[in-house]
Every structure is written in C-alpha cells, then in structure tokens.
Amino acid sequence: MRAFLIVLVSLVFFTRCGKQQVSQADLPKVIAPIEINYAAGVMISPQKKAAKASNCNFNFAEKILSPHRIPVLDTVSNQMVFVKSNGDRVSIILDKLVGKYDIILFNPNSNPVPLRIADLQGAFDQIFNFNSTNNFKSKAKSSIRQTPKIAEDTISHKTVSELLLKLKNRHKKIIFTTFDTSASKLILRNIPEIEWVEQKIDTRRILKFSFENDLITYANTDRYFTNGITFDLQAAWLSRSPINKLMLRYNHKANVTYNLSMVQDMFTPTDTRVAPTLQNDRPYSSYLYFGFSKTTADPIRKIKIMSKLDVGYIGPHSPGSYMQTLVHKSFPTNDVPLGWETQINTDIILNYSVQAQKAVVSTQKLTVLANFGTKAGTLNTSTSAGLQLLAGKYEPIFGLADNEKWPKTEYYFFAKTNISFLAYNALLEGGMFNHNNIFVLSGNQIQRFVGSAEAGFHLHYKGVGLELAQHYLSPEYKSGLWHKWGRISLFFRI
C-alpha cells in the first residue's frame, strides 16, 4: 500500500510539473516599475522562495497571459502601486499580504487581485473580461515590449493533477486584507470555484486610558471591585502579530481593527478597614494581564465579532496590594487596608473570549445592538447576553462604507445591560492550578447568574475623546451586596 501511494504522489508531481513546463527556453524577465497603470501580471518573488520554483511559476504565467498580449513582470520592490483607469491608486505591500500568493493580476478597470499560481487559469477569464472591454490592451502594448507568443499547451486538462486541483479549490475562499484607504474599496469578486473576500484594516492609531474606581461614584464604598487601570492601543501593525492566527476568521466582506491592552484590577472584601473574617465575604484578589483582540465589523450583515486572548497572572505579584496600600497611606483620611496577605495566591491567566453583536435597530442617530458572548479559561468561564444602545452622533458602528471618512466630532449617550451565567471565577474560587489559598468561596456560595449595567456619555473632537460611565453589578455570591463604580476614559489619536 505504501509503495502504491509513493507511485501515485510521484505521478501527480511529474504530471503537474510537466503541465507547467514551457517548451521554449526561459524568457527574459521584465522588471516591474513601482507604479503600474496598465494590464499586467506581477510576480511575487519573496527571497525565501526557491529560484527554480519561481522560474517555473513565471514561465507558466507567461504561457497563460502572453497570448493575450498581457505582460508578466518580475518585481524587486516590496511595494507596488496600481493606478486604475479612474485615477484611484491601490498600494500593496507584498510582504504584508495575508496568505501565500505567487502573482498579482491587474485589470485597470478593477482592483489588483493576488492569486496563487494554481488559481491563475481559472481566475484569468473572470478578471480580464475581454468581451466587455479591451481598453487595457493598447496600454500594455505601448508601455511594455510585446512578449513572444508561446506554443499552446499540448497536455490534456483531464490529468490527475487537474482533477485534484479542481477538488482542492472547490468552495474555496481567499481572504485578502487591505489597508483602509479611500482607494481600497471593498468589492466581493466571484472567481470560478473561488470566493474572493476583501477585508480592510482600520489604520488609525488610538490610545485609550481608562481609570475605574468606586471613588468616582457617589457611593464611595471601597468594596468588591475597588480599582482598575486599563491601557488599550488600536493599531494596524498588530495584524502582523503571530497571535493573529489564533483570532476568529471571518469569511465575508468586513472592516477589521486590532487592539493590544494591559489591564490591572483589584478586588477587596466588604470593608477593608477591619481584618477579613474569612467567611461569607469576598476574598482579596488582584491580577495583571495583557490582551490581544481582533474585531471584525460586517457593514452588510450589520454584525460585529470580537475574539480576544488574555495572558497574565493573578496573585501577590500583581501590583494591586502595593498600589492600594500606597494610595491609602498618601491620604490621611483613608484607612490602610487590612488583609491583603490573605489574597488569592499566584496562578496563571490564560483566557479566550468571543463576543458577537447584531444590530436590532440601526439609524443615523440611534442604534440598538444585541450582544452575545462567551469566555473560557483559567480566569473566567461564562456566557452572557444583553442589549446596548447608542443615541447621538457617533462613528459608523460597522466601519466605513466606500469613500467615507471618519467623523471629526462625536457626542452620544450609551447604555448597556447584560446577564451572565458564571461557571467559574478564579477571583472568588481561587486559581485553577494553585489551590494553596488562605480563603476562597466554595462553589455553592457563588451566584451563577449575575446582572450588570453601564450608562454614560462619550465626547470626541479632532482625535481627543472623553468618556464618563457608571457601572452597576448584582451580587456575585449569595451573601453579597449590589455594587457600583465609575469609569473615566481618555482617547488620543496618535
């Protein structure tokens, strides 16, 4: 059986290579200019690719394109600019293409299309529609010397490799990510046996700083969730992180944002002025983690999906105990918190979460979203559902449509409610791996259904923003109390 498989694989390999071989000697390669405004096929030649395979691909592309007087160009530059007939300029940085591609086909009437060499034959007729327009032929002839005509392929298309390739490409989707510019319009292309999906990355760089504390609210209870600090960075270059491979893939036209965050939160019992009773109360706990998230917004289906990975640690090595003690010592009216030595011990945080939002009401000044989410990991395992409302002037919830620009001014009221089913919470029950804790709550003390709500106001003007919010939380354990705290967030366009 093994010998039969080896023979079959060898037959497929030699059949495929034989099909792509050109009877003539290798044709001299024409180096592509940085800007191209005529119909062409531009080879992508990364340094890691073997020269022999690159030559084979070049010759095969010549065989398909040269009979139609479309030049095949080699490239030495990392960035190509394609100028369309309507004046739009589409810039592609070759080493940032999401996927392994061998050639870019360009018809000046449409956007450039990166492809693998195996998909060239099937995609050619769709991209270069000769029956509708032949405008680009004359530009190609005048700008680049006419390439020699190559003899037609004498090998039958009914080969084993053709059948395997057809099976492989069946219902296949190619996702190509572009930078968010006015010239990079989101266009869904249908290529035989291939569904082409374009996604745009939001290129804005936004830094967000959030401070949460019950001191901000009128209650000033200093219990339960007592303080939180979050730094969040949105940037397009995060799309090149290897962590991106762990994020959810979305196979439709969409706008995409990437965020990197650092979160430090601390939690205390009901009263920090007395030593903890170690019963019927919340334990001290603190954590620090870094989060990587990808948010995909579909403007057609009115859907937004976020996937996030959090990595960090919980326990004494988190700065929660030090920070709260330092702040309370700095103000004479505050009592030094007692009992941080009993906090939940050191453990790792590895959590993955997914949140989906669907527009229920969507108008220019009023949007209502249905929220669904789930979390799983060593910090929190739960599922949730709720509603979110926005009223006022705000940027497009699901990203920009073609040729739109981000608004310079935003002012809107927002409110959201949520109910969660909590299966596991390390902040109450202790870490998943380290069970050496002085005090934690048992499973039968945990409230499995927890409600939360938040309401506030957002103001943004020319790259600087402010957000004020009030948060409410129902009891998390059976003898617990309702809790509320405030949040202040600052946004900066950098």
Of 62-66, 159-163, 228-232, which gets the smallest average pLDDT?
A: 159-163
Q: Are residues 429 and 488 in the same domain?
A: yes
Q: Compute the average pLDDT of residues 368-372.
A: 97
3-state secondary structure of 401: coil
pLDDT at 152: 33
Q: With cut-offs at 50, 70 and 90, classify the pLDDT of residue 185.
A: low
Residues of 245-282 as b/e, b for ≥16 C-beta within 10 angstroms?
Answer: eebeebebbbbbbbbbbebbbbbbbbbbeeebeeeebb
Q: Of the residues 200, 235, 266, which one is the last residue of a structural domain?
A: 200
Task: Tell how far CA 47 is from the center of its chain.
Answer: 27
- In this predicted structure, the answer to whether residue 8 has a pLDDT above a threshold of 80 is no
d(CA 42, CA 448): 58
3-state secondary structure of 468: strand
Q: Which domain holds residue 370?
A: 206-493
d(CA 408, CA 393): 11
Q: Are residues 221 and 194 in the same domain?
A: no
Q: Are residues 123 and 234 in the same domain?
A: no
Q: Are residues 182 and 237 in the same domain?
A: no
d(CA 48, CA 255): 31
Q: With cut-offs at 50, 70 and 90, classify the pLDDT of residue 53.
A: low
Q: Which residues pair with 468 in a beta bridge?
A: 457, 488
Q: With cut-offs at 50, 70 and 90, classify the pLDDT of residue 183.
A: very low
d(CA 489, CA 34): 43
Q: With cut-offs at 50, 70 and 90, classify the pLDDT of residue 135.
A: very low
Highest mean predicted confidence (pLDDT) among 42-46, 118-122, 386-390: 386-390
Q: Compute the average pLDDT of residues 334-352.
A: 92
Q: Are residues 177 and 223 in the same domain?
A: no
d(CA 403, CA 185): 8
d(CA 24, CA 17): 15
Report which secondary-structure segment, H or E, holds 417: strand 409-425
Q: Are residues 283 and 163 in the same domain?
A: no
Strand order in the sheet with 30-31: 30-31, 72-74, 40-43, 103-106, 113-115
Backbone phi, psi, residue 314, to 5°: -120, 145
Pairing, β 172-179 against β 194-201: parallel
pLDDT at 380: 96
pLDDT digits (tens, 9 = 90+) for 231-276: 999 999 999 899 999 999 898 888 999 999 999 999 999 988 888 8
pTM: 0.69
Domain count for the chain, please give it. 2
Q: Are residues 252 and 184 in the same domain?
A: no
Between the alpha carbon of residue 126 and those of residues 113, 138, 193, the distances in Å are 11, 20, 11
d(CA 216, CA 468): 10
Q: Of the residues 200, 216, 241, which one is the last residue of a structural domain?
A: 200
Q: Are residues 86 and 125 in the same domain?
A: yes
Q: With cut-offs at 50, 70 and 90, classify the pLDDT of residue 478.
A: very high
Q: Of the residues 132, 167, 200, which one is the last residue of a structural domain?
A: 200
Between the alpha carbon of residue 436 and those of residues 269, 286, 425, 432, the distances in Å are 19, 16, 16, 11
Backbone phi, psi, residue 57, to 5°: -65, -40
Of 57-61, 121-125, 145-149, 238-242, which gets the smallest average pLDDT?
A: 145-149
Please choose, from the candidates 367, 238, 365, the residue with its C-alpha nearest in 3D space to the C-alpha of residue 308: 238
Q: Are residues 187 and 238 in the same domain?
A: no
Of 89-103, 193-207, 287-301, which gets the smallest average pLDDT?
A: 89-103
d(CA 461, CA 438): 49
Q: Are residues 234 and 272 in the same domain?
A: yes
- Report how far apart the first and last C-alpha atoms of the chain are (Å, whole number): 62
Q: Are residues 189 and 212 in the same domain?
A: no
Q: Compute the average pLDDT of residues 65-91.
A: 84
pLDDT at 446: 95
CATH code, 464: 2.40.128.140
3-state secondary structure of 168: helix
Q: Compute the average pLDDT of residues 307-335.
A: 86
pLDDT digits (tens, 9 = 90+) for 428-474: 999 999 999 999 999 999 999 999 999 999 999 999 999 999 999 99
- What DSSP assignment string belongs to 46-87? -TTS-HHHHHHHHHHHHHHHGGGT--EEE---SEEEEE-TTS
Q: Are residues 188 and 214 in the same domain?
A: no
Between the alpha carbon of residue 311 and those of residues 315, 353, 377, 393, 494, the distances in Å are 14, 12, 10, 35, 26
pLDDT at 74: 86
Write out 272-336 in H/E/C secondary structure.
Answer: CCCCCCCCCCCCCEEEEEEEEEEEEEECCCCEEEEEEEEEEEECCCCCHHHHHHHHHHHCCCCCC
Tell me which DSSP letter residue 144 carries: S
Highest mean predicted confidence (pLDDT) among 154-158, 184-188, 217-221, 409-413: 409-413
Q: With cut-offs at 50, 70 and 90, classify the pLDDT of residue 327.
A: confident
- In this predicted structure, the answer to whether residue 137 has a pLDDT above a threshold of 60 is no
pLDDT digits (tens, 9 = 90+) for 286-318: 999 999 999 999 988 999 999 999 999 999 999
